[in-house]
Structures are given as C-alpha cells and as structure tokens.
Amino acid sequence: MISVGEPAPDFTLPDQGGQEVSLSDFKGHRVLLVFYPLDFSPVCSDQLTLYRDIAPQLKEAGVTPLGISVDSAFAHKAFQDQLGIDTTLLADFEPKGAVASAYGAYLDSAGHSNRSLVLIDADGKVEWVHETATPLDIPAPNLILNAL
C-alpha cells in the first residue's frame, strides 16, 4: 500500500458517463480514493451506500470521494443508478487495475482491488491510508471521519 507522505500517482480514468477524470483535476482540493472490488457485489453496495450517508461531512471537510474499481464505465453507470448515489465512479478497466496497482491496492490473485482508502491532500500528497485485511471487510465511515 502507498505510504503517507508520498506523492499520489496521477491518473486519468473514465467515469460512469465516459468522461475522463484525472487526479490532477482536483489540484488544490482533498480527494478520497475509495478502491473497491466490484460493482453489484453485496458488500460493495453496502460500502458505497454507507459513504453516501457521510457525504455532508466529507463536503464540509472539503473532500471529494472517488470510487475506483476494475469494472467498466457502463457497469459503473448502472451500479450508480441502482444505488441512487452521486459519487463519481472511475473505471480502472484497461489496463485492468493499473491505478489500483500504482497505489498498492490491487490483489493479483483475485483480479481486483482490495478495499482500500487513500486520502490525498490539496498538495497531491497521501495524507492517510487504510487497507482492510480482506475484501469482505468494509472500512467503516467513522474511520474516514476520524481521519479528517
């Protein structure tokens, strides 16, 4: 997993609408990268719904959450619509898991990322990280709020 204090690797990925989003687009702002395994799995649905509930606190802290998984932009759009969330979801689809790998969140044996959180400060440095022991664990919203 990437370490606190390291520069966050820049990336450009398509969002759920097919628009390219780069980490550098958020220069001067804090960003929370939410790496999760797959759309439509029960645990992923629960995780992103829980984070929707803390959106006001994230906004108040000046943090923009970005969900990242190996699913396609098309799957992300359907997943976003099903959950009723407005969190931007980015497709780390091709090359598969390249961004998750750059952050140390990709699980080669599983073919997807672990549940990992990376908070990036306004200067583009890693401010805080959390990695679960297994992709079946959900990092609780209070972990994020405590890190802020």
Q: Catalytic site residues?
A: 44
6's tokens: 């390291």
32's tokens: 């929370």
44's tokens: 């992923």
Give CA–CA dist 93/112, Å, rounded. 10
Give CA–CA dist 45/113, Å, rounded. 15
